[in-house]
Amino acid sequence: MLPLSAYREAIHLDEPFDRPKPDPRSDHALFNAVLAGLPEGHLSNGSAQVSSIEELYDMSDIQDTLRLTLMGLSADEISEDALDAINVLLYRNSAALGRTTGNNLMRISEMMPTSDYGSARNVAMWRGDVRELVADAVVNAALPSLQGCTDPDHPCIDNFIHAQAGPWLRDDCKVIREKQGRDDQVGGAKLTRAYRMPANYVLHTVSPRLEGAAVTDADRAALASCYTSCLDLALEKGDIHTVSFCALSTGENGFPFEEATKIALSTVNNWLHSHGSDQINLVIFNIFEDPDARRYIDVLQHWIED
Q: Are residues 109 and 236 in the same domain?
A: yes
Are 203 and 88 in a shared domain? no
- Residue 58 within any structural domain of the chain: yes
What domain range is 68 assigned to?
16-97
Q: Is 5 domain-assigned?
A: no
Residue 2 lies in a domain: no
Q: Which residue has the higher pLDDT, 151 or 186?
A: 186
Who's near 63: CB < 8 A, 6+ residues apart?
Answer: 89, 93, 163
Same domain (yes/no): 91, 139 = no
- pLDDT above 70 for 44: no
Say if residue 48's pLDDT is above 60.
Answer: no
Residue 10 lies in a domain: no
**At residue 61, does pLDDT exceed 90?**
no
Helices 257-275 & 217-237, crossing angle to 10 degrees? 40
| Cross-strand pairs, 186 | 206
Mean pLDDT across 74-98: 96
pLDDT tier at 306 (50, 70, 90 boundaries)?
Answer: confident
Least confident span in 57-71, 126-140, 249-263, 268-282 = 57-71
253 pLDDT above the threshold of 60: yes
63 confidence band (pLDDT: 50, 70, 90): confident
Same domain, 205 and 293: yes
pLDDT cut 90: percent of the chain above it: 78
Q: Show which of 79, 97, 115 is a domain's final residue.
A: 97
Q: Are residues 297 and 181 in the same domain?
A: yes
End position of a domain, from candidates 61, 78, 97: 97
Judge whether 254 lies within some domain: yes
Give the chain's mean pLDDT. 92
Q: Does residue 182 share a domain with residue 138?
A: yes
What is residue 47's predicted lDDT score, i.e. its pLDDT? 47
35 and 51 both lie in a single domain: yes
Per the domain annotation, does 233 fall within a domain?
A: yes
Question: Final residue of a domain: which of 64, 97, 130?
Answer: 97
Q: Count up the domains in the chain and report the number.
A: 2
**The predicted structure's pLDDT at residue 50:** 52
Min mean pLDDT across 55-64, 97-106, 130-139 is at: 55-64
What number is the average pLDDT over the span 107-128? 96
- At residue 245, the 3 state secondary structure works out as strand
In angstroms, how far apart are the furthest CA atoms of the chain?
Answer: 61
3-class secondary structure per residue, 52-95: CHHHCCCHHHHHHHHHHHHCCCCHHHCCHHHHHHHHHHHHHHHH
pLDDT above 70 (res 55): no
Residues 180 and 227 in one domain: yes
pTM flag (> 0.85): yes
More confident residue, 192 or 62: 192
My answer on whether 107 and 77 are in the same domain is: no
Does 69 share its domain with 39? yes
Are 182 and 228 part of one and the same domain? Answer: yes
Which residue would you say has higher pLDDT here, 211 or 70?
70
Q: Which CATH number covers residue 177?
A: 3.40.220.10
Instruction: Report CA 109 to chain centroid distance, whole Å.
Output: 26
pLDDT tens-digit profile of 138-176? 999 999 999 998 887 788 899 999 999 999 999 999 999
Cα(164)–Cα(73) distance, rounded to whole angstroms? Answer: 14
* 125 and 71 within one domain: no
Task: Give the count of beta carbons closer than 10 Å to the beta carbon of residue 17.
Answer: 15
Asked if the structure places residue 69 within a domain, the reply is yes
The verdict on residue 234 lying in a domain is yes
Q: What is the rounded average pLDDT of the residues 6-12?
A: 98
Cβ atoms of 151 and 137 within 8 Å: the answer is no
